[in-house]
Amino acid sequence: MKLEDVFSKESLALIERTREFAKSFFEREGTHGFSHVERVFNLCMHIGREEGADLEVLALAALLHDIARPLEDAGKVEDHAAEGARISRQFLRSLGYPEEKVEAVAHAIEAHRFSKGPEPRTLEAKILSDADKLDAIGAIGIARVFMYSGEHGRDIETSLRHFEDKILKLKDLMYTETAKRIAEDRHRFTVEFIERIRREIEGEL
C-alpha cells in the first residue's frame, strides 16, 4: 500500500517527521532495532485499513511505540511503554498536534506491552498490540528468536523452549479478526519449523 494514497500531504509530512524523530532513538540494529518498528508500522497500516482504524493515530503510535526500548535495555528506565508514551506526548504537543489525538497515540503506546501497562481500550491500541506480537510469529519470529539468542549467548535448545513457552501462545492474544487470520498462518509455519528442527536434532534423516 502506498502511503500517498491514504494520507493527506499534511499527514504525510507529520508521519515523516515522526519517523525521523523515532529513528534517532535507535543506535543499533538487532531484535528490537528500527527495522522491527518499520515492520510493525507496515502491519499496522494493513490491519488498520481492514479494520477501519484512524490511520494517522495508528501510524504515529507504531513509529513511536518502542522509542524508549533502547533506554530500557540500557537499564535507564523501567518500562519502555510508559516512558515512550511520555516522550511521545511531549514531542507531539511540541508540534501542536491536537490534544485528544496526542492522548490516543499515547494510550496505544502505553498499552502495547501485554505483560505490563493498561489493557488496550481503543481500536488503534488493539491493532498496535496485535502488530507488535505478529512480528514475533512466523518466519520473522523465528529469525528474531535466534537473533536474540545470538545476542545473549543462548543455545538452540533454550531458544526452542522460548517458542513453546511464549511464541506459540501469541496467536491467542490477538484482538482483531484481521490479526487473528495472519497469526494463524504464521503460527502454523512456526509449528512446522519446530517439528522439523526437533526431528533434525534427534538425528532423524
Is 66 near Fe ion (CB under 5 A)? yes
Strand ranges for 20-83 from DSSP E: none
- Contacts (Cβ under 8 Å, ≥6 apart) of 1: 45, 46, 49
Part of the chain binding Fe ion (CB under 5 A), chosen from 23-31, 63-71, 152-160, 187-195: 63-71
CB of 34 to Fe ion, least distance (A): 11
The dihedral through the CA atoms of 116, 188, 37, 6 has a sign that is: negative
Cell of 171: 496467536
Is 132 near Fe ion (CB under 5 A)? yes
Is 56 near Fe ion (CB under 5 A)? no
Part of the chain binding Fe ion (CB under 5 A), chosen from 13-21, 66-74, 138-146, 163-171: 66-74
Is 83 near Fe ion (CB under 5 A)? no
The nearer residue to Fe ion, 74 or 205, going by C-beta atoms, is 74
CA dist., res. 1 & res. 4, Å (int): 9
Is 110 near Fe ion (CB under 5 A)? no
What is the total residue count of the chain?
205
Sites of contact with Fe ion (CB under 5 A): 66, 132
